Structure 1
């Protein structure tokens, strides 16, 4: 099938990257529905082309009335994803003489306000910054035709739902487009509240599934052995690029230092880094100036790195859906990839949740040279909270008289 079947503007199609020649499954299903003005809930695996699935029809519709001003807003959960969506859509918009702007934290809000004196036709934004500018009256939504929630399950989760609800309350009723690779059951109701009752549900792949071309291996290791195991695997396989996920920001920095000390070309990326540093580090990794990038989940969603061969979870995520997004940084656009996870005893419940969500067995393997000697924690081995409190009170006694003091009777 060719993109020409959608009767899109030839100029728009000419602006697509040379590698994009045929529409993916989600694009085949979503583009006609969006062109027809329908609300859409689209579920498709990572790396399946969701940005163009909504971007192409939106830009086509905006090109019919460019003089209106701001007609479409794309909301994403992270600055990195905002930047990537902007990079994907800006050349297409420019070909149609449409203006696209990006608004997110980490950039001076004064510069953004100044840029917005020239109205954009489409804005890509993170929720907090978009809401701040809307509340200041810098952005007006009166002509808004379409709202996109990209990585919708993350935007409907507790961290963002307040800002999303506040923004929707400021917007006119119009086309709502929700795209995600995963949608845990508790969030389905929230998604349907954002959409109209007549929305189209598109499921290009089995919901919450990982890409079949990702070879997944999970190693059972001691918690304290994870850094050494990671260094061993990187040194043994000599991969050209490795994206490593860790849950906590402090652990990202600590692990990165150990990799560098071991002679591995590595850098760290997380939310406490300045935006300029985050952008530069990610660009270095994309350009293969870095071998290993250690990151938190700021890079787990939507980020595309050409032909990334390996993703490693040093920590399993606490939310099962995040596992699908993390490993989806590899095997994108029809390529294959490898996903490794280092699992300790304490993470076995998280692994069970991942197995349940993805409907995959995901057996644990042994890593040669890294025997598991940790003992699994059990409820019986844990002291009751009351006993702990009693122990602390005992430790605070300063003399034998403290133990024998009694309250006077009345």
Structure 2
């Protein structure tokens, strides 16, 4: 079904980029409900087209009834705020609607200037928006549309108190839209307090989504992961690889090792300021760096055009994060590969991922990397007597105490 079959004006449809020809399932389901002025609770996987699912009906309503500060879109991260704003601007620039991005790490005074112009749409992270509201930069009472995008992640990241403070400044009579990839019980309870008789929409996986991602899991020794990662990238001659890792320090350390091995590599994590983060991501998007090592800052919401490969250097402890990580590839109907390097110590994480995804995800051997590590049995590796000997050794304070006693 083309966009012309949806209740959108000819002006808005004409403003769509040529690449937007057929709406996704979530767009088909959500757009009519939003245009009908109903609150909406939408559950749809990452990469399913959620931004335009709420963006297009917001733009349609602005066209019909222009006013400043009409729509507020809250998102959990700076990167996602930038991406959402760019996606909206692809359309809004053609219909003379202004959208601004308000997030931390960027010049606050510049953002105040942009708000003073009176944009119709504000895309913001909660923290920076609260700062500006506290400084009376603009009147939140003008906002009649509120969108909570990636609501589950905002809950996970501890933003809900900020969100509640923001909502207290908004008019009670408003349309509220909540979009989320998952719907845990805690979020369900929050939704009941925020939404008024919402339309519940749950999109199926985009056609063949699981099938478009080729998942390969390899059992390797923990100490062999770096060499295995380098071998895979070089052997397959991949020119753009996103590697996920657990911590910031490990990301920087692995980045150094890959660069030393001759792979053009950059790292992205929360210790970098916003300017660095944007510059790093752009290097990767433009393939000026072939490998990007990232913490879960990027697991959701970031779109890298035609990203062919995602590698889990370490499995995440949260099974849902695995789904969001591999969802960076095979977006918009493309195909992709998701590789996971798994050691024995990650067996519990893998079991949780299998349970969540309902997929077998078999572990294979990786050519050239035989597994010599043994799974933990849970038993103490050292006999009790050895531990007692160690304690006696630690208590010795002089060289004489270590000398053997003379035989009698």
Tell me, yes or no, whether TM beats 0.5.
yes
1:14 correspondence with 2:11? no
Distance 1:164 1:389 in 2: 55
Q: Distance in 2 between matches of 1:382 and 1:10?
A: 72
Q: Match for residue 41 of structure 2?
A: 41
In structure 1, the partner of 2:328 is 329
Aligned to 1:305: 304
Q: For residues 38 and 241 of structure 2, what CA distance do their matches in structure 1 show?
A: 40
Conserved 8 A contact 1:11-1:95? no
> In the TM superposition, what is the alpha-carbon distance from 1:11 to its structure 2 partner?
2.7
For the residue of structure 1 that corresponds to 2:333, the secondary structure is coil
Which consecutive segments of 4 or more residues in structure 1 shift more than 6 A? 387-394
Q: Which residue number in structure 2 is paired with residue 256 of structure 1?
A: 255
Alpha-carbon distance in 2 for matches of 1:266, 1:37: 47
Check whether the contact 1:210–1:324 (CA below 8 A) recurs between aligned residues: no
* Aligned positions of 1:9-158 closer than 5 A: 9-67=9-67, 69-158=68-157
Give the C-alpha shift of residue 186 in structure 1: 4.3
Query: May I ask how many residue pairs the two structures share in their alignment?
Result: 396
Aligned positions of 1:169-188 closer than 5 A: 169-173=168-172, 174-188=174-188
CA RMSD of aligned residues (A): 2.6
CA contact (8 A) 2:7 2:32 kept: no
Q: CA deviation at 1:332?
A: 0.5
d(CA) in 1 for partners of 2:259, 2:296: 21
Contact 1:26–1:49 (CA under 8 A) maintained in structure 2:
yes
Shift of 1:229: 0.7
Aligned residue number for residue 235 of structure 1: 234
How far off is 1:51 after superposition? 0.7
> How many angstroms apart in 2 are the aligned matches of 1:284 and 1:293?
9
TM-score relative to the length of structure 1: 0.90
Q: 1:297 and 1:139, CA in 2 relative to 1: closer, same or farther beyond 3 A?
A: farther
Label 1:55 to 1:239 Cα distance change in 2 as closer, same or farther (>3 A). same
Shift of 1:389: 12
Relative to 1, partners in 2 of residues 1:11 and 1:219: Cα closer, same or farther, differing over 3 Å?
same
CA shift in 2, pair 1:163/1:38, >3 Å: same
Return the offset for 1:274. Answer: 2.4
Separation of aligned partners in 1, 2:157 and 2:210: 27
Contact 1:40–1:176 under 8 Å retained in 2: yes
2: distance between equivalents of 1:389 and 1:294?
A: 44
Q: Say whether residues 1:281 and 2:284 are aligned partners.
A: no
Instruction: Name the CA distance, whole Å, in 2 between partners of 1:389 and 1:164.
Output: 55
Pair 1:389–1:188, CA change in 2 (3 A) = farther
**1:138-183 alpha-carbon deviations (Å, 9 max, x no partner):** 1322121111111111012252222222222222232221222233
Could you tell me how far apart the structure 2 residues matched to 1:45 and 1:158 are? 19
Structure 2 residue ranges without an equivalent (≥5)? 400-408
Kept in 1, the 8 Å contact 2:39–2:176? The answer is yes
2:306 aligns to what SS in structure 1?
coil
Q: Verify the 8 A CA contact 2:30 2:53 in the aligned structure 1.
A: yes
- Partner in structure 2 of residue 192 of structure 1: 192
